[in-house]
Structure 1
Amino acid sequence: MGERGVQVGGRAVLPGALRPWLGGIAGLGAVVLFGLGVLFAGDSRPGVVDLRVWAVVNGAAPPWLYVAQAMDFLGEPVGAPLLVGATVVGCLLLRRPRAAVLVVLGVGVTVGVAKVLKSLVGRTIHGDNLSFPSGHTAFFTSFALVVALLVAGWLRVGRTVGVPLVLASTLLAAAVMGWAQVVLGAHYPTDVVGGWCTAVAVVPVVAWGVDRVADGRR
């Protein structure tokens, strides 16, 4: 994954200066995701961490309830495509087709992986509802990560600015969407952690793949 990818076939969606750091973060996310998946496989009860978080985040009353519902909508089959579609249109208007591809694939593959993991792990909440990892959190975190990568590439920032930008964006997105999911009772708090891990493990790999294909490097 050398620097040549930045110059060939348009601007790279995975900035060269961030690749080693994002690779490490992706690896860490995958390890934590695997560990949590094994820990909660086939479970239907909250863990110790879940109970402690629930003791602090115990429901929400208006207007915060409406905020949580609005966030939840952004991860639903109507809200999510609207958000992704608007971003794709923006990328195309800016003449960045490679970025548009990353928006679709980065988010789409992340959501797909989250769905597969839900079936494999089999953790449930409120009866038969599969919960680990949180698909809403995985979606919104992956979307934030993709946008952060595009901004970092557009501004040509180095790792000193780029790494904090990416981390802050993903953590904020996961925290906001995760809060909404926990408040609405849709997920355990540890499901939210799993959603974040899914996004940070998948998106950098997808971005690297998009650059390789776009640059014609097999």
Structure 2
Amino acid sequence: MWTDPHRDVPGHDRLTRHRPGTAFSRYAGAHPRRITLFAVVGFALFVAVGSLAPRLALNPGVLNTPEFPDVGATVLAATAALGVDLLLLCAFALHDRAPVKGANRAEDPGGLVPPVVRPFCWLVILPSLTTVGVLASRVAGSHGPLKVDQRIDSPVAYRLLPSRPVLSRLVELGSPTGVTVLCTLLALGCLTLRRMRAATLAAAGPTLAGALTEYVLKPLIGRHKGGGLAFPSGHTTGAVALAVTITLFLLPGGTFAGLPRTLRLLLATFAAILASALPLGLIALHYHYATDVLAGAALAVALILTLALLLDAAAGATTHPATSPSEPPARPGDPDQRP
């Protein structure tokens, strides 16, 4: 076996630790699947954004030149790929630190988000909030559609024209009254199952998301359509918030995991309708632009996941109070444990 002849030299470990490329090599050797995941996700996102950006008029034209007309799309695609890979790296770092802290791996039978998934929620929350912020900066104080809205709204309205009567009824589920009724039913179901944390999320999450949209963001951003404020879509925010809440409850170990399979399938179908058909109906009926709907959905996802993580963290802090590192908690059957 080959051995390093300098291993006994003082300071050799410190020099090896800080040698350029050593940290990446060690990480790649310890986690080859993660490196593959970074490469696949980054490449796939680069190709997807690079091809869709010009078609949806998302290409930042200020970067383009006559010789290189796709520079804007390339920069946007590279930024998106690098950003998601960095978020993945941070999520894995939080995941690796969880056994040391003991919080994310602790048993949490009433948890809203599975402990192993919690670090990766930020992969969804941060891009969602970034999407809302970027779109808000583009539409603030405007009265018309963006180019991406022009590319999406008319085809959606044309294809869904036969379904307008059904869609007009469906979109009412996203109204403040509809969201309040559905939240109440969902919270009562959680209380029946004695899941107080889930009941809190069901009662407060979608309601707070809708209130934030209607009374804070819409007046602040000031985008108008048809004489009213449009950005973000309040109906979409409420409906998608409900859908995300139901989805969390249906996860393995979640609030509804013990329900009969047929009932769980019905709940999953209802959540899918709220998150897809209802937002499309708002576009088809010309109530909102596509970017209004996208921002409302992204905002709902970010808010519900953030609130769920906060509720889990608060419950964990109450159930598992911090202990002194010098005095670990006694285990049952420990001969040194005294009454």
Flag whether TM exceeds 0.5 (same fold). yes
51-60 or 84-93, larger mean C-alpha shift:
51-60
Query: Could you report, residue by residue, the CA deviation over 1:99-125 in whole angstroms, capped at 9, with x for unpaired residues?
Result: 110112221221122221111110000
1:192: which partner in 2? Answer: 293
Q: Which amino acid aligns with 1:110?
A: A
2:241: which partner in 1? Answer: 142
1:109: which partner in 2? Answer: 208
Q: Which amino acid aligns with 1:87?
A: L
Higher alpha-carbon Rg: 2
Aligned partner (choices 126, 133, 138) of residue 226 of structure 2: 126
Task: Kindly report structure 1 stretches of 4+ aligned residues shifted beyond 4 Å.
Answer: 59-62, 168-172
Question: What TM-score does the superposition give when structure 2 sets the normalisation length?
Answer: 0.55
Aligned partner (choices 49, 59, 81) of residue 180 of structure 2: 81
Distance in 2 (CA, whole Å) between partners of 1:66 and 1:141 is 21
1:214: which partner in 2? Answer: 315
Q: Please give the residue correspondences for 1:1-218 in structure 2 after superposition, counting only pairs within 5 Å.
A: 2-3=103-104, 6-7=107-108, 11-58=110-157, 60-61=160-161, 64-115=163-214, 116-127=216-227, 129-154=228-253, 173-217=274-318
Compute the RMSD of aligned alpha carbons.
2.5
2:213, 2:234 within 8 Å by CA — same for their partners in 1? yes
1:145, 1:169 within 8 Å by CA — same for their partners in 2? no
2:175, 2:238 within 8 Å by CA — same for their partners in 1? no
How far the C-alpha of 1:186 sits from its partner, in A, is 1.1
Among all aligned residue pairs of Structure 1 and Structure 2, give the percentage whose two residues are the same amino acid. Answer: 29
How far the C-alpha of 1:3 sits from its partner, in A, is 2.7
1:170, 1:196 within 8 Å by CA — same for their partners in 2? no
- Larger RCO: 1 or 2 (CA < 8 Å, sep 6+): 1
How far the C-alpha of 1:70 sits from its partner, in A, is 2.0
Change (3 A) 1:213 1:5: farther
SS in 1 for 2:306: helix
Distance in 1 (CA, whole Å) between partners of 2:134 and 2:241 is 20
Q: Which amino acid aligns with 2:146?
A: G
Q: How many residues align?
A: 204
How far the C-alpha of 1:209 sits from its partner, in A, is 1.5
Distance in 2 (CA, whole Å) between partners of 1:170 and 1:134 is 18
2:261: which partner in 1? Answer: none
Change (3 A) 1:61 1:30: closer
Question: What TM-score does the superposition give when structure 1 sets the normalisation length?
Answer: 0.83
How far the C-alpha of 1:212 sits from its partner, in A, is 2.6
How far the C-alpha of 1:204 sits from its partner, in A, is 1.2
Q: Which amino acid aligns with 2:152?
A: V
Q: Which amino acid aligns with 2:220?
A: L
SS in 2 for 1:78: helix
